[in-house]
Chain A
Amino acid sequence: MSGDRKFEFDSFQDTTSIQSFLQSLLDGFSKGKIVLSSDNDEIILHPDSLVRFCVKAKKKDGVKNQLGIKISWKEPKIEFKRPDKTIRITS
């Protein structure tokens, strides 16, 4: 492990421009690789086959709206071998 790494991006978008960001994330999920980089740093994420997906929406006083999407997963450590050949050992 090379310690904690972070990427942050904060901006204003309109309903058209935001689509390119969301599409970029979708492409990343289908390729199994999401690269996030800035001048200082780069993070490459490989979404696992099991990800936690949490959506939270809030409408406060009818003025402030919030839609939170959180996707998290653990780095897979186990590599499972599905047996492809049939070797049988009996005692």
Chain B
Amino acid sequence: MITFEGLEENLKFIAIEVENQTRSTVSFINQPSRKLYESIITKDDYIDNLKTIIENKCFSIIHTNKELKKKDINRIRSIQTICVNLERIADFCVNIVRQMSYLEDYRILKKYDYDAMMSEIQNALSKVLPVLSQADLTGALVICKAEYSLDQMYKVNFDRIMEEIKKGLRVPELITILFIFRYIERIGDSLLNIGEALIFSIIGEKIKIEQFQALQTTLSNSGFQETISEIDFQAIWGTRSGCRIGRVGQKENGNTSPDVYGSIFKEGTGKKISMEKANLERWNQMFPGLVAKVYGYNEDKENASLLVEYLPGCTLDEVILTTDLPYVDNALFILQQMLAEIWEATSKPVPASTNYIQQILSRQDEILRVHSGSFRPASKLGDKIIDSTPDLLQKCLKIESQMRAPFTVMIHGDFNVNNILYDHSNQRIHFIDLYRSRDFDYVKDVSVFLISNFRMPIFEPVMRDRLNHVIQSVFEFAHDFAVHHHDKTFDIRMAFALSRSFFTSARFELNSSFAKEMVLRSHFLMEKIVSQDGMSWETFQLPLSILFL
């Protein structure tokens, strides 16, 4: 293992100093003295300086040494996080010591069990350096788990102090004691950060301890016998929907079932993950191979985790942005064939209401948080009345409530361009991230797909032409499908769906002028819809230039 001389030495010092600082804190609680107080405060300055030195070295090594391997960079990042959290622990010690001066009689604290908590802290701190130098995953997990134990102990003390406060005696002192325990508990939070940084340094992946445990359980439920350190956990992509996805691959030549190795691990809220599982099973039944197979599933009180097949291929956005046009066209052709097959096979002639405008309303707070000016007020230009955004939304909501999609199909539900995989060698398309799949209006998927291309913040003319080409191709395909299936309200439903996709996409775009462009396009479509009110929906023509930048 590579070592960074000087840096590792500094880390050793700060770790030892912080461990000492916790010992001195216990001594001070047991028997406060002016001398010890001053010594703790002085040590804290020294620890602060050490932290600055280590941070400077970390950044400077990463900045100046271009040949560092990813593993080395991970180790440096991990050292930096460890040292920041060590310094924070030292600060908490100072906070505890300062709180002691508010106690009329320090001996009152002896009635409470701070000793057990402080021993837990010292035990975890003593493991930091050995775990880092031996890349000891189990040791890292022990450090993480200290936070859990500290929380439990804090709860016991907290409840006791609260009961005593209710009695109304010595309340100011009890509050001080509560503060002291709170600082001790917060040391646990820093220890957890340190443990997670150690895991990151060892496995090269940022993973929360709960996710790590979920991965272990899911792997063992799926019949995986090896220890967790046999697994090479590598993130391949993250999603915006709050799920973390990583690929579980084989670290070295192992002889375990290949299925488990070539798999993806997902962890998230129980509802979302269980929906995804049910949807994957439904898709697999109808279109084998289109989506990943489910290998394992595990669920606890709030969260669930899923181990699914790793599908080969690139996401379609990668294909669009990085390959030659014939490959893009080929991928689009296969995608359109697949969609036609799915839509034909799953079509149910049951008219269905849609909720495009409602989706803007339910996301309005999120949109306004990012772009506070995206809702316009009512105004007048001469005699011309301009509706406010809320009024326009209400008018459209009313119109939409009268509309029905003529049939439903099984939709992807989040048909973003990066939720589609293209496997060039097998000439196949795969769908991923399917927790929103259901029977619904196919226009929803089409609109989400089109705008996921439109909203890419790419303005260079050649690449923008490429995106426009993709948008045009898929729109023409969907329009064609509508014509052939006598879907006469396709255009107006598309206007609703696009106004929804344009508006809600603004919350992902920090470039305010591009976000505004999308919000204005959404308003334009809604005004078009309102102007059609009272006329036949079938005569509505979507202004196609809205799709292209």
Residues of A within 8 A of B (CB): 48-50, 52, 55, 74, 76-78, 80-83, 86, 88, 91
A-B contact pairs, 6 of them (CB 8 A): A50-B546, A77-B468, A78-B472, A80-B472, A81-B476, A83-B479
A49 and B520 form a contact (CB under 8 A): no
Q: How many A-B residue pairs have CB under 8 A?
A: 36
- Interface check B114, CB cutoff 8 A: no
* Residues of A contacting B476 in the complex (Cβ-Cβ under 8 angstroms): 80-81, 83
Chain B 475-494 near chain A by CB (<8 Å), digits 1 or 0: 11001100110000000000
B545 and A77 form a contact (CB under 8 A): no
B468 and A48 form a contact (CB under 8 A): no
Alpha-carbon separation in the docked complex, A48 to B543 (Å): 11
A83 and B480 form a contact (CB under 8 A): yes
* Residues of B contacting A82 in the complex (Cβ-Cβ under 8 angstroms): 479
Partner of A88, one of B475, B484, B547: B484
* Residues of A contacting B337 in the complex (Cβ-Cβ under 8 angstroms): 91
B543 and A76 form a contact (CB under 8 A): no
* Residues of A contacting B407 in the complex (Cβ-Cβ under 8 angstroms): none
A50 and B545 form a contact (CB under 8 A): yes
Which chain A residue has the least Cβ–Cβ distance from B521? A50
* Residues of A contacting B472 in the complex (Cβ-Cβ under 8 angstroms): 78, 80
Min CB distance, A25 to chain B, in Å? Answer: 16
A49 and B381 form a contact (CB under 8 A): no
* Residues of A contacting B475 in the complex (Cβ-Cβ under 8 angstroms): 80
B545 and A48 form a contact (CB under 8 A): yes
CB under 8 Å from chain A, chain B span 512-549: 520, 524, 543-549
A76 and B483 form a contact (CB under 8 A): no
Residues of B within 8 A of A (CB): 337, 381, 465, 468, 472, 475-476, 479-480, 483-484, 520, 524, 543-549
* Residues of B contacting A91 in the complex (Cβ-Cβ under 8 angstroms): 337
Alpha-carbon separation in the docked complex, A83 to B483 (Å): 8
B483 and A52 form a contact (CB under 8 A): no
A78 and B480 form a contact (CB under 8 A): no
- Indicate whether A55 sits within 8 Å of B468 (C-beta atoms), given known contacts A76-B545, A83-B479: no
Partner of B484, one of A55, A78, A86: A86
- Indicate whether A52 sits within 8 Å of B548 (C-beta atoms), given known contacts A83-B483, A91-B337: no
* Residues of A contacting B524 in the complex (Cβ-Cβ under 8 angstroms): 50
A76 and B479 form a contact (CB under 8 A): no
Partner of B548, one of A55, A76, A86, A88: A76
Min CB distance, B419 to chain A, in Å? Answer: 25
Max chain A CB contacts within 10 Å: which of B465, B524, B544, B546?
B544
* Residues of A contacting B545 in the complex (Cβ-Cβ under 8 angstroms): 48-50, 76, 78
Alpha-carbon separation in the docked complex, A49 to B544 (Å): 9
Max chain B CB contacts within 10 Å: which of A77, A78, A81?
A78
- Indicate whether A55 sits within 8 Å of B381 (C-beta atoms), given known contacts A49-B545, A50-B546, A77-B468: yes
Alpha-carbon separation in the docked complex, A77 to B461 (Å): 11
Which chain A residue has the least Cβ–Cβ distance from B340? A90
Besides the contacts A76-B548, A77-B468, what 18 more A-B pairs have beta carbons closer than 8 Å?
Answer: A49-B543, A49-B544, A50-B546, A74-B549, A76-B545, A77-B465, A77-B548, A78-B545, A78-B548, A80-B472, A80-B544, A83-B476, A83-B479, A83-B480, A83-B483, A86-B483, A88-B484, A91-B337
* Residues of B contacting A55 in the complex (Cβ-Cβ under 8 angstroms): 381
Min CB distance, B481 to chain A, in Å? Answer: 10
Which chain A residue has the least Cβ–Cβ distance from B337? A91
Which chain A residue has the least Cβ–Cβ distance from B471? A78
Alpha-carbon separation in the docked complex, A43 to B543 (Å): 26
* Residues of A contacting B480 in the complex (Cβ-Cβ under 8 angstroms): 83
* Residues of B contacting A52 in the complex (Cβ-Cβ under 8 angstroms): 520
Which chain A residue has the least Cβ–Cβ distance from B469? A78
Max chain A CB contacts within 10 Å: which of B480, B520, B545, B549?
B545
Min CB distance, B383 to chain A, in Å? Answer: 14
Alpha-carbon separation in the docked complex, A86 to B483 (Å): 8
* Residues of A contacting B543 in the complex (Cβ-Cβ under 8 angstroms): 49-50
Alpha-carbon separation in the docked complex, A23 to B480 (Å): 40
* Residues of A contacting B544 in the complex (Cβ-Cβ under 8 angstroms): 49, 78, 80
* Residues of B contacting A83 in the complex (Cβ-Cβ under 8 angstroms): 476, 479-480, 483
Min CB distance, A67 to chain B, in Å? Answer: 10
Which chain A residue has the least Cβ–Cβ distance from B464? A77
Min CB distance, B60 to chain A, in Å? Answer: 47
Which chain B residue has the least Cβ–Cβ distance from A54? B520
* Residues of B contacting A81 in the complex (Cβ-Cβ under 8 angstroms): 476
Min CB distance, A75 to chain B, in Å? Answer: 11
* Residues of A contacting B520 in the complex (Cβ-Cβ under 8 angstroms): 52
Min CB distance, A86 to chain B, in Å? Answer: 6
Which chain A residue has the least Cβ–Cβ distance from B491? A82
Min CB distance, A69 to chain B, in Å? Answer: 10
Alpha-carbon separation in the docked complex, A74 to B381 (Å): 25
Alpha-carbon separation in the docked complex, A50 to B542 (Å): 12
Alpha-carbon separation in the docked complex, A77 to B465 (Å): 8
Alpha-carbon separation in the docked complex, A29 to B465 (Å): 27
* Residues of B contacting A50 in the complex (Cβ-Cβ under 8 angstroms): 524, 543, 545-546
